Amino acid sequence: MSTTLFYFHKIQKQITIDHCLALSITFITFFVFSPAINYDFVWDDASYLLNDAAHLSPDFISNALTQPFLSSYYRPIPTLWIYAEAHYTSASTVWMHTTSIMFHAFNTFLICIISINIVKRYSLNKTSKSILILVAGLFFGLHPATIESAAWISGRFDLLLTSFLLLALYADTTIIKASTKALTVGFCFFMAALCKEMALGFALMLPFWHLLTLNRKLKLNISTSRSFLSSPELKTYCSIFLFGLLYLVIRYKTTGFNFSNVAASISLFDHSMLVLKAIGIYFRAILLPFINLSPTHHQDFPIPVTDITSWSVVLLLSIIIILHFSLKTHKLTYFILAIAASLLPVVHIIPLTIAGNIVHDRFLLFPIVVFTLLSLTLVAQNYQHISTRSRIMGTLLAAILLTVNTINTNITLPLWKSDLALWSWATKVDPKSGIAKLNYVISLCNAGMPDEALPLINEHIDSFSESEKSANIILTKAICLEKSENFKIAEDTFMLALEYKIMNKEEYARILRGIARTQLKRNKLDDIEHLLDKSQSLAPYTHATYYNYYLYYVATNEKQLAIEKINIAITLATTKAQQDYYREVKQDFIDTPSMNSPSK
């Protein structure tokens, strides 16, 4: 009993006002993002939770660990988490959104705890320390660029990546024993890499982090080389390198190395302009996130020679170089280099793009961490040299920025409520984005507005050459035609989609189901069962296939088979789809009490 009381009092002493402040900031962050708990699946969520439904496979654990995610990504930890969560909650949007917001709140808490570790190294009064921790925690927690990761279930990859990298930074700032620190930081880096490839940015950033936080200068001479070889940081770098090799071996053995190098043929100058523009947009989004937030950031290639953003980055780099050598502002240099290094995997050094987008807001999660913590470090290191007037002005500017960020977050968050809200916004702020237009069309159809969607999809299709068209675009038009009850034309369009490039087997299965549905509407029953059998073999855990079986057997008056298929559909369906199926079944000849209750 006395031992328990001893440890209780010891813990009590370690818990300070700043720790209570950290918890308060965490709860504020959760509260601000809590409306997203009731949001729908949006964007890619439907691809693997509804269309593919791989989480319903009895082998979902081994599949998540050994197979690529969405064809080419190897991200086993978040994939397994999402699959397990969807499997055991019937893909409950409430549960899954709650988990995402909790992860974001947890990351905010880690920011605050690391901030506490940083500020206690310096001679600051308690009020100043608390203010710095408050600003750092709220800046990250309520930053508008974090919305995409926190409010979108598919943003879980970036949330988990950031969690492990924050744990690595926490270990780096708290663990004293060099070997223990190296092993812990290396392991956290390895876990982050298993969440997302962007973990590479941590390894590139860490040397600059150490130079700034440990208040060192980079000098290339024999004495500093000897000092580095005997430093505890070298053990950490070696640990990260070895864990990185382990990750590469595992990735190669499971999925190989797959990249979509769409911009590989561009010239060196165009490639440089692409990199510079991406860096410029990301830095602008960190500092002024209320200017160009969007789920898409379309960019026509090549970048124009007169592009202001690219040349602004060149100007900024020139100023930093001049200041570094003339005024010896090495801390500012390390600060900029650390942020740039954290962004390096996503600024097209290898020219990778996703659907023509030059940047993505979710990629900013860890760079915002770096910016926040190193800004805090710079202020804490120089606090004694800052005049009282400058401190007051800085506090006011921070308060204004936090207020603007909070307002912007509250305005932007509801735009992720549904596909219709999301893509209506995206098409306004990024009208050139093909992915925004296509998803807006789909959302209009799903919202019961196919007549509004058809002119848009026709215009979108006409903007492509024949060689650029894909099955997905034609499939979208077919769904619009089906929703507007043009079943003959819809069937022909579904058939036409088969002549174009199909991305994966799930897309092929969707086309076959579309043909089956339109034939059923036209009372052409001969091929429907065969089409559904093939669709089921391609995507065996998709509840829509079994629902289509149900409709077919209702039409052919085969009651027992209809009951069997609708029970499977209900078992595989999300909670919302289960309710929809029950409502529809009540209108048909099948008696709902005779059916099995949904289960997992």
Write out 408-456 in H/E/C secondary structure. Answer: HHHHHHHHHCCHHHHHHHHHHHCCCCHHHHHHHHHHHHHCCCHHHHHHH
3-state secondary structure of 74: coil
Give the pLDDT confidence score for residue 28 in this predicted structure.
95
pLDDT at 578 over 80: no
Give the pLDDT confidence score for residue 2 in this predicted structure.
53
Same domain, 150 and 299: yes
Same domain, 248 and 387: yes
Burial class (CB in 10 A: 0-12, 13-18, 19+), 235: middle
Give the residue-averaged pLDDT of 184-200. Answer: 94
Asked which of 415, 447, 467 is the last residue of a domain, the reply is 415
- My answer on whether omega of the bond before 295 falls inside 30° of 0, hence cis, is no
pLDDT at 596 over 60: no
Work out how many domains the chain is built from and give that number: 2
Question: Is 507 within the bounds of a domain?
Answer: no
Per the CB < 8 A criterion, the answer to whether 99 and 31 are in contact is no
Per the CB < 8 A criterion, the answer to whether 242 and 185 are in contact is no
Residues whose CB falls within 8 Å of the CB of residue 4, separated by 6 or more in sequence, listed in order: none
Same domain, 555 and 410: no
Per the CB < 8 A criterion, the answer to whether 472 and 438 are in contact is yes
Write down how long the chain is. 600
3-state secondary structure of 176: coil
Tokens of 71: 């064809």
- Residue 169 CA to residue 370 CA, distance in Å, equals 10
Tokens 């813990």 identify what position? 11
Stronger pLDDT, 52 or 448, i.e. the higher one: 448
- Residue 165 CA to residue 371 CA, distance in Å, equals 14
Tokens of 272: 């440089």
Question: Is 452 within the bounds of a domain?
Answer: no
Give the residue-averaged pLDDT of 227-246. Answer: 84
pLDDT at 230 over 50: yes
Stronger pLDDT, 350 or 224, i.e. the higher one: 350
| pTM of the predicted protein model | 0.87
3-state secondary structure of 255: coil
| 524: region left, alpha or beta (phi > 0 left; psi from -120 to 50 alpha) | beta
- Average pLDDT over the chain, rounded to whole? 84
Amino acid making up residue 246: L
* Degrees, nearest 5: CA angle 424-471-74: 80
Question: Is 428 within the bounds of a domain?
Answer: no
Cα–Cα distance list, 502 to 438, 474, 498, 505, 507 (Å)? 16, 10, 7, 8, 7
pLDDT at 61 over 70: yes
Same domain, 545 and 407: no
Q: What is the dihedral of CA 171, 176, 182, 185, to 10 degrees?
A: 0
pLDDT in tens, 523-556: 998 899 999 999 999 888 888 899 899 989 988 8
Give the pLDDT confidence score for residue 294 in this predicted structure.
87
Same domain, 356 and 214: yes
Radius of gyration of the chain (CA): 27
Question: Is 461 within the bounds of a domain?
Answer: no
pLDDT in tens, 424-463: 999 998 888 888 888 898 888 888 888 888 888 888 888 7
Per the CB < 8 A criterion, the answer to whether 295 and 147 are in contact is no
Same domain, 403 and 549: no
Per the CB < 8 A criterion, the answer to whether 290 and 405 are in contact is yes
Q: Nearest-CA neighbor of 163 among 129, 194, 204? A: 194
Give the pLDDT confidence score for residue 257 in this predicted structure.
62
Measured over the CA atoms of residue 245, residue 251, residue 252 and residue 253, the dihedral's sign is: positive
Give the pLDDT confidence score for residue 183 in this predicted structure.
95
Per the CB < 8 A criterion, the answer to whether 541 and 57 are in contact is yes
Residue 83 CB: number of other CB atoms within 10 A?
22
Give the residue-averaged pLDDT of 306-310. Answer: 90
Question: Is 521 within the bounds of a domain?
Answer: no
* Degrees, nearest 5: CA angle 161-166-171: 130
pLDDT at 592 over 80: no
Q: Nearest-CA neighbor of 482 among 472, 494, 471, 500? A: 494
Each as own residue / partner, the long-range contacts of residues 21-25 (CB below 8 Å, 24 or more positions apart, any chain) are: 21/112, 21/130, 21/133, 21/134, 21/137, 22/109, 22/112, 22/113, 22/115, 22/116, 22/133, 22/137, 23/109, 25/108, 25/109, 25/112, 25/133, 25/134, 25/137, 25/138, 25/141
Residues whose CB falls within 8 Å of the CB of residue 511, separated by 6 or more in sequence, listed in order: 471, 475, 478, 494, 497, 498, 502
Give the residue-averaged pLDDT of 31-49. Answer: 87
Stronger pLDDT, 600 or 347, i.e. the higher one: 347
Give the residue-averaged pLDDT of 2-21. Answer: 60
Residue 526 CB: number of other CB atoms within 10 A?
7
260-269, 386-395, 396-405, 437-446: which range is least confident on average? 260-269
3-state secondary structure of 293: coil
Asked which of 356, 381, 415 is the last residue of a domain, the reply is 415
Burial class (CB in 10 A: 0-12, 13-18, 19+), 418: middle
- Residue 61 CA to residue 338 CA, distance in Å, equals 36
Q: Nearest-CA neighbor of 79 among 201, 15, 161, 135? A: 161
pLDDT band at 70 (very low <50, low <70, confident <90, very high): low
3-state secondary structure of 336: helix
Question: Is 565 within the bounds of a domain?
Answer: yes
- My answer on whether omega of the bond before 68 falls inside 30° of 0, hence cis, is no
- Residue 48 CA to residue 70 CA, distance in Å, equals 8
Question: Which structural domain, as residue segments, surrounds residue 407?
Answer: 2-415
Asked which of 392, 415, 438 is the last residue of a domain, the reply is 415
Question: Is 430 within the bounds of a domain?
Answer: no
Give the pLDDT confidence score for residue 598 in this predicted structure.
39
Per the CB < 8 A criterion, the answer to whether 82 and 63 are in contact is no
pLDDT at 311 over 80: yes
Q: Among 43-47, 51-55, 258-262, 422-426, name the most confident range.
A: 422-426
Same domain, 410 and 546: no
Question: Is 258 within the bounds of a domain?
Answer: yes
Same domain, 218 and 353: yes
- Looking at residue 598, the DSSP 8-state letter turns out to be P
Cα–Cα distance list, 68 to 163, 252, 499 (Å)? 22, 11, 26
pLDDT at 179 over 70: yes
* Degrees, nearest 5: CA angle 448-149-44: 40
pLDDT at 574 over 90: no
